[in-house]
Amino acid sequence: MLKIVRLKLTVLVVTLILINPLNAAPRVVVSLPELHSLVAALMQGTAEPILLFQSESDMAGDLDPFQTSGLLSADLVIWVGSGLEKSVGYALDKFPPIADHFMTLSNTLPLLLKRGYEEIGDQRQISRDLHFWSDPRIAIMAVKQITPLLVRIDPDNTERYLDNEIALLKRIKKVEQEISKQLAPIGAVSSKIANTFDPYFIHRFIREIKPDGSSNEGLQKVSNHPLKTCRQGEITSPSPGPDLYFQTLLTHAKHLDQCVNSRHRINNRVEVRNNRHQRS
């Protein structure tokens, strides 16, 4: 009888281990590539987070069965909020219990109002621009909020998460300094240029935004025609992983620099043409 009991206990323990193995890597799902990049850096040496959407364009429509299964089985889901990842919000409405495993970053981070939006009292998911990660300092706030949750679901790797956080924060600060130095000569940009780029990126790296044509009436006609170099068309996205976030920021900086320099060249040509016209 005692042997039978011991056998049953052994089978039970083995079954539990197979279902939920000891020291199993946590299942972390992250909605967007930029956030996934930050979480992947935090989790280096432990496990690889699962990327839910390859891009924002992939968020249109319903989740497929694989994505839904990922949300249901995750130990932690990191997303922005229902104002951006609407299909994830629908999944939350359909399966309320999984909300306990969700970290909604837009609930706790400082967010800018949407351009042209004046109703401050409206719900954050409606009135705020949710693309906060383009500001490195807000990205740092997000990282500091994510790390404790990783430690909570995977305490055995606490030291690794903390070490990774230190390294990641240093890297974010370094890329901010590099971009600030690169864009420092710009000083101010026109509102037309500013509206072409992410507001968080402009807010962090550009000191002043001026109305189009305010400095020289003769340039107003030119400023009404957006330059091809200022249009952020289809950009080849880097591969998902710890480097994607930094590559994306540096690409934004490169495009803004090219855009402003192209306008300066056109402005100089217009000024020369105006001077010639005045002399004649």
Q: Where are the domains of the chain?
A: 27-109+126-174, 181-279
pLDDT value at residue 229: 53
For the chain, state the CA radius of gyration: 25
Residue 114 is predicted with a pLDDT of 86
pTM for the model: 0.80
- Decide which of 2.40.110.10, 3.40.50.1980, 3.40.50.1220, 3.30.300.170 is the CATH code for 27-109+126-174: 3.40.50.1980
220 vs 223: CA distance, rounded Å: 5
Q: Where are the alpha helices (DSSP H) in 120-243?
A: 124-127, 136-153, 158-183, 191-194, 199-205, 220-223
Average pLDDT by consecutive 10-residue portion of the chain (280 residues)?
43 39 80 98 97 87 92 97 93 94 95 78 78 98 98 98 99 98 92 91 93 48 45 67 97 93 52 48
Query: What pLDDT does residue 20 have?
Result: 47
Backbone angles phi, psi at 16, to 5 degrees: -65, -40
